[in-house]
Amino acid sequence: MKCKNCKGLAVKNGKQSNGKQRYYCKICKLSFQRSYNYRAYKIDTNKSIYQLLRESVGITAIARLLSISKTTIIKRIKEMACLITKPLFDERHQYYELNEMRVVVGYKLNEAWITYAINRYTKKIINFIVGRRTKRNISVITKSVLQLYPKMIFTDQLKTYKSLIPKTQHDTRKKNTTVIERHNLTLRTHLKRLSRRTICFSKTFEMLEATLKLYLWGYQLKF
């Protein structure tokens, strides 16, 4: 039998307690069996989790549909998120919109904010941060945008922006943030944990950030 890892020749290496034959590859030192009963070992499991997560399916529902434990689902989401890095943008003199979106983490009274920037025309997310709506957190996003030498940055009338963005590049008129406001609605529609008037929410900031990474920059993954 061929090794699942290096495609080399694998030899028989005893049996499982359930009677299934095990194999051992002398090249990559991997021990495995031909097939597994637990569905999490299927090759397309991560892809299925990713697709369901983007279609407003909660963790419990994903576990039920794929017949996999919730613990495994959460672990796989975090593992996939670790493989994703913030994209590098070399664009210059573009128009950007910045906004914050209120969410719940842990319990209903524990609010958090997703602050992010979007290119008005390409709809690409430049950067995002999850946490309190503080000047320090917001400055992370504004710096990411200012490094791209923007023509104009559009925000709401939050006073914090005025101290972080040069006046000549800043516009706070409400009509100029329609793109990012529409994207907020898309996020709440596609991610169960962001929906309003629901019992679904993120228990930790880590899980919320991992989910956002998968949704916004999941195209980096190779299934």
Structure tokens at 64: 């039920």
Which CATH number is 9's domain given?
Answer: 2.20.25.10
pTM: 0.81
pLDDT in tens, 64-115: 999 899 999 999 999 999 999 999 999 999 999 999 999 988 876 788 999 9
Whether residue 178 is found in the same domain as residue 146 = yes
Containing structural domain, residue 67: 40-82
Contacts of 66 (CB under 8 A, 6+ apart): 39, 40, 45, 48, 49, 52, 73
Rounded Cα gap, residues 100 and 129, in angstroms: 10
Would residue 160 count as lying in a domain? yes
Count how many domains the chain has: 3
pLDDT in tens, 180-214: 999 999 999 999 899 887 778 888 999 999 999 99
Torsion sign across C-alpha atoms 80, 102, 200, 51: negative
Write the DSSP string, 140-166: HHHHHHHTT--SEEE--S-HHHHTTS-
Q: Are 120 and 96 a contacting pair, CB within 8 Å?
A: yes
Whether residue 10 is found in the same domain as residue 115 = no
Would residue 16 count as lying in a domain? yes
pLDDT in tens, 27-76: 888 887 777 666 677 778 999 999 999 999 999 999 999 989 999 999 99
pLDDT in tens, 139-186: 999 999 999 999 999 999 999 999 999 999 999 998 999 999 999 999
Q: Which helix (H) or strand (E) is 2 found in, with range? A: none
Rounded Cα gap, residues 146 and 150, in angstroms: 6
Structure tokens at 87: 């994209």
Whether residue 183 is found in the same domain as residue 101 = yes
Where among 49, 82, 115 does a domain terminate?
82
